[in-house]
Amino acid sequence: MVLTTEEQEKMEHSGYRFAGKHSHAGVKICHWTKKSILNQGECYKQKFYGIKSHRCLQMSPAIPFCHQKCSFCWRDLSITKTQWNSEYDNPKTIIDDCIKAQNNLLCGFFGNDKADEVKLSECGKPNNAAISLAGEPTFYPEINGLIEEFKKKNFTTFLVTNGLLPEKLKSLESEPTQLYLSLDGDSEKTYKSICNPQINDAWSKLMNSLEYLPSFNSRCVIRLTCIKGKNMGNVENYGQLIKIANPDYIEVKGYMCVGYSRKRLSVENMPKHDEVLDFATKIADEIGRRVVDQSEVSMVVLLK
C-alpha cells in the first residue's frame, strides 16, 4: 500500500475515493460538477474550452507522488512522496473504479429536487478526464496507457503537469486532448521559493519541458498561478519563458487561499480579479497575445 490506512481514511473523509488496490489513484467530485448539476454555474473550462462540468471526472493516477511541495497547493503535503517503489494498478482498473466511485458520490443528487434532470441522466457517464486532482500524474508508470484507455472510452483528456518529468512527456505516444504545463515563477529563484522542488535539477527539467512543448500536436496551455507579493513580478521574464513553449493558450490564474495552503500563505497573498487581469494584460502585451476570455469567480484570465 502506498498510503497508510490512516492517511486513506483522512483523505476519504475530505471527499476522496481510491481506485484499484494500491491506494495511488483516485477521484474527487469537483465543486463545479456539483454546481453544474444544480444549474448554479460551471467551471471556467466549460466557458473557455466547451468541457461539460457535469460530465467531468476529476482524477489522478498518482495522488501521493510529486517532486514539488508548492506553497499554494491546497492539498495535504505531508503525504507527498518523491519516489515510486511500489506496485501499481493498471489503467483500465483505475478508470473503471474512478467512474464507479464518482457515480456513488453523486447518487445523492438523484433525490434533490433542484437537480437538472437532463444533467442527472448524463453525469453518470463522464466524457472528460481532468487528470489533475492531486500529485504529478506523469509519475504514474503507465500514464501513456491511461490516456489511451480514456480515448478508447471516448473521453477527452486534460493532463496537468509540473514539467519535472520531461522524459515522460517525450515518451507519450498517445497525446492528451489538452496539455497543461505549470509555470509559477519568472526565474529559478522565484520558482524555488514558491514550488519548493524536492530535486536539485528541477528548474533545468522544467526548462526542458518548456522547450519540448512546441512538438506536441495537442492543444497546449501554460498556466501561471499568481500569488500576490510572491510571483507577480517580472513580466519580461515570463514573456521569454512563454515564448520558448509557444503554447496555444496561457491561463493566468489567481491563488485561492483555501485548504492546506492556508498553513503556508495568507489571504493577503490572494490577488483580486482586477489585479490578475492587469497582470495578464501586461503579459499579453509582452508576448503579442490578447485577452480572449475571463472568469471572475475563478480569478482566471485566458490569453490566446
The CATH number that applies at residue 163 is 3.20.20.70
Cα dihedral sign, 176-220-258-261 = positive
Q: How confident is the model at residue 141, as a pLDDT? A: 95
The C-alpha cell that represents 134 in the structure block: 492531486
pLDDT of 175 reads 95
Q: Read off the C-alpha cell for 55.
A: 460530465
Q: What SS3 class is residue 7?
A: helix
Domain coverage including residue 255: 5-303
Query: HEC string of 191-213?
Result: HHHHHCECCCCHHHHHHHHHHHH
Q: Whole-angstrom Cα distance, residue 27 to residue 95?
A: 9
Count structural domains, the chain: 1
Name the nearest CA neighbour of 274 among 226, 222, 221: 226
pTM for the model stands at 0.93
- Rounded distance, CA 300 to CA 254, Å? 6
Tens-of-pLDDT digits for all 304 residues of the chain? Answer: 788 899 899 999 989 999 999 989 999 999 999 999 999 999 999 999 999 999 999 999 999 999 999 999 988 888 899 988 889 999 999 999 999 999 999 988 888 889 999 999 999 999 999 999 899 999 999 999 999 999 999 999 999 999 999 999 999 999 999 999 999 999 999 999 999 999 999 999 999 999 999 999 999 999 999 999 999 989 999 999 999 999 999 999 999 998 888 999 899 999 999 999 999 999 999 999 999 999 999 999 999 9
Closest listed residue to residue 190, CA positions, set 76, 66, 71: 71
Task: Give the pLDDT confidence score for residue 169 in this predicted structure.
Answer: 95
Sign of CA dihedral 108, 126, 14, 225: negative
